[in-house]
Amino acid sequence: MNGSSLAKLIGFGIIIIVLVVAAAQSTYVVDPGFRGVQVTLGKVSDEFKPEGFGTKSPFVSRIVSVPVRQLTRELEAECYSSDLQQINVALRVLYRIPEASVVKIYKEFAGDPFDSLIAPRIQEALKEVTALQSAEQVVKKREEIKAKALHASRDKIGSILFVEDIVLENINLSKELEAAIESKMVQEQEAAKARFTQQKAQIEADTAIIKAKGEAEAIRVRAEAIRDNPGLIQLQIVEKWDGRSPLVIGGGGGGDSGSGNGANILLPIGLPNSSGQTGGAATPATRR
């Protein structure tokens, strides 16, 4: 093989390699959950590239992938309560980049938009919310603090990014403050228990009074019934008699024997005879 043939062969090989590289540089693939931003010689395209396969100008254009799926980042915030107590909050932020903001985010914010846009605004929102509550209330009203901080964060960030949620993982106070809050809570629980015991005793006392009044009213009604109906006692004696002859039967109501206010009844009264059996006829019961 002479020199000219070898040079042609080498040139042909170089052309093949250039064409292969150019073909590789003219295509791209955007993964699921991402959108592509095309940059051509330093100029950013106004439209994002959807996920999937596509073509571009070789060597002069490149595709930058920007995630649009939900992302999670950890964050810490150092805050102060209304009573000037330091509170360290550890939280987790769930956020995503809307499709409409992909190109704008790449143009206007360098690096990760979480560090430059989301983190400082969430920290600012938390500081504003906790500054309106005492340290004790920040611990007690955890969900309320979270809801207000989330709302304030969304207002500060706007629609360029969307904060799905924030999770307050831990609220750290100083050991002295934690001990003071715990002691106060124990005292409040003991006071609540004492109030419950006092209310229970009062209810029991009121119940006893109501019961006593009811019994007194019942006795009064019965006394009036007996006074107005003297024969009521005799009727009750008959109703409750068990069939056995009593040895002694008292008369009716008190008073003079000749007044006639009482009523005599005849019950069989038997006296034991010598054989131990009871006999005899009915004997009138007389008043005394």
| Contacts within 8 Å (CB) and 24+ apart, 252-261 | 252/287, 257/287, 257/288, 261/230
Residue 286 has pLDDT above 60, yes or no: no
Q: Which two tokens stand for residue 178?
A: 């934690």
More reliable by pLDDT, 119 or 195: 119
Residue 135 burial (CB count, 10 A): 24
pLDDT of residue 124: 94
Residue 254 has pLDDT above 50, yes or no: no
Q: How far is 146 from 221, CA to CA, in rounded Å?
A: 66
Query: What helix, strand, coil percent values describe the chain, rounded to 5?
Result: 50, 25, 30
- Which of 6-15, 93-102, 199-208, 236-245 is predicted least confidently? 236-245
SS3 209: helix
Render pLDDT for 8-67 as a digit per residue (tens, 0 to 9).
Answer: 777 777 888 877 777 777 888 999 999 999 999 889 999 999 999 988 888 889 999 999
The answer to whether 264 touches 251, Cβ cutoff 8 Å, is: yes
φ and ψ at 275, to 5 degrees?
-85, 0
pTM (2 decimals)?
A: 0.56
Q: Which domains are assigned to the chain?
A: 11-67 (no CATH), 71-173 (3.30.479.30)
- pLDDT band of residue 266 (cuts 50, 70, 90) is very low
Chain mean position to CA 206: 35
pLDDT of residue 85: 85
- pLDDT band of residue 280 (cuts 50, 70, 90) is very low
- Rounded mean pLDDT of 198-220? 85
Residue 279 has pLDDT above 60, yes or no: no
* Amino acid letter for position 230: P
- Which of 57-66, 71-80, 87-96, 233-242 is predicted least confidently? 233-242
